[in-house]
Amino acid sequence: MDPKVVYETDRLVVRDWTDADGDRVFDIYRRWEVSRWLGADPRVMTDRDAASRVIERWNTRNEDPVHGIWAVEEKASGTIAGTVLLVPLPEGPSSKGEVEVGWHLHPDAWGRGLATESAHGAITHGFKAGLGEIYAVVRPDNQPSLAVCRRLGMQPLGLTSRWYDSELESFVI
């Protein structure tokens, strides 16, 4: 069965994950240069079975028509460039149901505008679904992702510790 396509851009198909994507998921998240930017306590993926489990978990989340954690596939080659996400930010005492856009790309996909293109598509998808604003949160020393936020036209809000138990740069569009 073909995976559900969520949206397309000029160069990308953004879709649900398949079991066949597991090797690429493992190859992306086993790398410290990718995983170091993720979560309050970053860790690399240590075994291929973890990729299968995470794909299953992501696809369960993708049943929501607005939010998801999707595969970013390059149209020209069929290669998975990485992940784009549109997910609710963690609930907290001052939470107002904010939604985050994010991206995690394989190093072989860096520097070609694919993060910006996939994130722009996710933002457009969210706005079409009725979201009024979308946030991004980025580690302050992650210069490439900070640049993606600027290219997306997101407004900087400054440092916050509101989400993910870590001080992060926050942006909104």
Tell me the per-residue pLDDT of 105-131, one tens digit each, with 9 for 90 and over.
999 999 999 999 999 999 999 999 999
Q: What is residue 99's predicted lDDT score, i.e. its pLDDT?
A: 96
Q: What is the pLDDT of residues 25-79, one digit of tens each?
A: 999 999 999 998 987 778 899 999 999 999 999 999 888 889 999 999 999 999 9
CATH of region 5-172: 3.40.630.30
Mean pLDDT, the chain, whole residue set: 94
CB contact burial 4-34 (16+ within 10 A = b; e otherwise):
eebbebebbbbbbbeeebbebbbbbbbeeeb
Is pLDDT at 141 greater than 90 in this prediction? yes
Q: What is the pLDDT of residues 78-109, one digit of tens each?
A: 999 999 999 999 876 566 789 999 999 999 99
Q: What is residue 171's predicted lDDT score, i.e. its pLDDT?
A: 98
pLDDT band at 2 (very low <50, low <70, confident <90, very high): confident
